[in-house]
Amino acid sequence: MKKMYLFIALAFILAGCSGNWGWYVVNPTTEGGFVNLKFLMSGLYYTILTSLVAIAISILIGLVVALPALSKNKYLRGINRFYVEIVRAIPILVLILWVYYGLPQVAGITIDVFWAGVIALALSDSAFEAEIFRAGIQSVDKGQYEASHTISLNYIDTMRFVILPQAIRRVLPALGNQLVYMLKMSSLVSVIGMEELTRKANELVVTEYRPLEVYTILVLEYLILILLVSAAVRRLEKKMNTGN
């Protein structure tokens, strides 16, 4: 970790020395630079909001899709396989474009940029969430179902109070991973015009003609955001383990 910070600092120092860089565009001590910097960071709101809403929806869909995979009924298992295989095969960018431009025509609805982005991200991630939940649920010992059976719990109560709390604890690192992945993938919704970090950077590049500096700031924005999220997920894991 320390090495990485050192590396970043070194990159800055060297960059400042080089004549090809024009840090003035994002220099917070000048008025123009400060305004530009603020403009770049204003995308943070939509990046975070999109990612959080999308991950919440994708976890819910993932859970609903994962449950039939554990059924003894082969048709239910088939539904799960069908969904996972199809959704997993569509590139995220393609799905975003299709949901924004295609879905309104097919379904006869209007859909704004935010929800188009969220739905596309959530759908594409849900297949992976489903696989994570399936693995987590399958890792819970068969004896837990049998014990639930002997105390007369029905299927929903067995899942809710016995199996899922144990399964979720086990897949928490994987869920954290998906959240990080989601934050990165949210940059793709810039193509349909959502005003998130990447879109803001693109807009600034067009007016300032300094892609190197602007995109470097963009890299740093994602880097800091994701390092913070990783740290938070790790703390949550620790907290949940102490209760076990």
Partner 1 sequence: MSSNINNQIICVEKISKFFGSFQALKDVSLSVNIGQRIVICGPSGSGKSTLIRCINGLEQQQGGKIIVDGIVLNDSLDSLTKIKSRVGMVFQQFNLFPHLSVMDNLTLGPMRSKKLSKIDAEALAMKYLERVRIPEQASKFPSQLSGGQQQRVAIARSLCMEPAIMLFDEPTSALDPEMIKEVLDVMSELANDGMTMICVTHETGFARGVADTMVFMDGGEIVETAEPEKFFTKPETRRCQDFLDKILHH
Question: Which residues of this chain interact with partner 1, rule CB under 8 A?
Answer: 141, 143-144, 146-147, 149-154, 157, 161-162, 165-166, 169, 243-244
Non-local (6+) Cβ contacts of 98 within 8 A are 90, 120
Contact 120, 100 (CB under 8 A): yes
Minimum Å gap between C-beta 35 and partner 1 is 51
Separation between Cα atoms, residue 116 and residue 127, nearest integer Å = 18
Could you write out the DSSP letters of every residue in 156-216? HHIIIIIIHHHHHHHHHHHHHHHHHHHHHHGGGGGGGT--SHHHHHHHHHHHH--HHHHHH
Q: Which is nearer to partner 1, 27 or 166 (by Cβ)? A: 166
Minimum Å gap between C-beta 136 and partner 1 is 13
Minimum Å gap between C-beta 149 and partner 1 is 6
Q: Which is nearer to partner 1, 37 or 153 (by Cβ)? A: 153
Separation between Cα atoms, residue 129 and residue 171, nearest integer Å = 10
Structure tokens at 66: 């994962």
Q: Which is nearer to partner 1, 3 or 72 (by Cβ)? A: 72
> Closest Cα partner for 169 from 71, 243, 65?
243
Q: Which is nearer to partner 1, 112 or 141 (by Cβ)? A: 141
Q: Is the dihedral of CA 188, 190, 192, 196 positive or negative?
A: positive
Minimum Å gap between C-beta 72 and partner 1 is 11
* Helical axes 164-185 vs 113-138, angle rounded to 10°: 140
Separation between Cα atoms, residue 190 and residue 198, nearest integer Å = 6
Q: Which is nearer to partner 1, 48 or 168 (by Cβ)? A: 168
Minimum Å gap between C-beta 152 and partner 1 is 4
Minimum Å gap between C-beta 63 and partner 1 is 18
Q: Which is nearer to partner 1, 89 or 151 (by Cβ)? A: 151
